[in-house]
């Protein structure tokens, strides 16, 4: 499934927030999905592949402690797990550097195959 252009994508996490060490409140942020080419321009061609999905929202994005957290998108009334937090820029301020997520659909067949054999 492609999420580019979707206006209903959100990331959540218990990670750090700008200037705060408080991890007791789950944070939520509406984000825009970026094209793979825009993500490659920001991070370099060698870092971004089909297994990634990139998102950003101005100066804010995923931060330390958010790794593994969900990127969820609402499509036609149905929620989809689009990605899992992978990496981003240190310092958590992301203008010009989208947060990078592992694209769940890219690995879904591998997950199904391995779950069936275990």
- Burial bucket for residue 115 (CB in 10 Å: 0-12, 13-18, 19+): exposed
pLDDT in tens, 51-101: 999 998 887 788 888 889 999 999 999 999 999 999 887 767 667 889 999
Q: What percent of the chain is predicted at pLDDT more than 70? A: 91
The answer to whether residue 19 sits within a structural domain is yes
The answer to whether residue 48 sits within a structural domain is yes
Mean pLDDT of the chain: 87
What average pLDDT does range 15-34 have in this prediction?
81
Which residue range is the domain that position 92 belongs to?
6-116
**Number of structural domains in the chain:** 1
Integer distance in angstroms from the first to the last C-alpha of the chain?
27
CATH number of the domain that residue 97 is part of: 2.40.10.10
- Burial bucket for residue 46 (CB in 10 Å: 0-12, 13-18, 19+): exposed
**22 has a pLDDT exceeding 70:** no
The answer to whether residue 1 sits within a structural domain is no
The answer to whether residue 29 sits within a structural domain is yes
**3 has a pLDDT exceeding 90:** no
Under 8 Å CB-to-CB from 66, ≥6 apart: which residues? 11, 13, 14, 15, 85
Q: What's residue 47's pLDDT?
A: 86
* Residue count of the chain: 118
What average pLDDT does range 13-37 have in this prediction?
83
């Amino acid at each position: 499934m492609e999420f580019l252009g979707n206006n209903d994508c959100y990331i959540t996490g218990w990670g750090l927030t700008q200037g705060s060490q408080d991890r007791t409140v789950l944070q939520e942020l509406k984000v825009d999905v970026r094209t793979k080419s825009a993500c490659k321009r920001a991070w370099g061609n060698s870092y971004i592949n089909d297994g990634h999905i990139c998102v950003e929202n101005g100066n804010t994005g995923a931060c330390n402690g958010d790794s593994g957290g969900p990127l969820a998108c609402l499509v036609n009334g149905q929620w989809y797990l689009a990605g899992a937090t992978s990496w981003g820029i240190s310092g958590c301020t992301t203008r010009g550097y989208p947060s990078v997520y592992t694209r769940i659909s890219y690995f879904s067949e591998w997950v199904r195959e391995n779950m069936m054999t275990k």
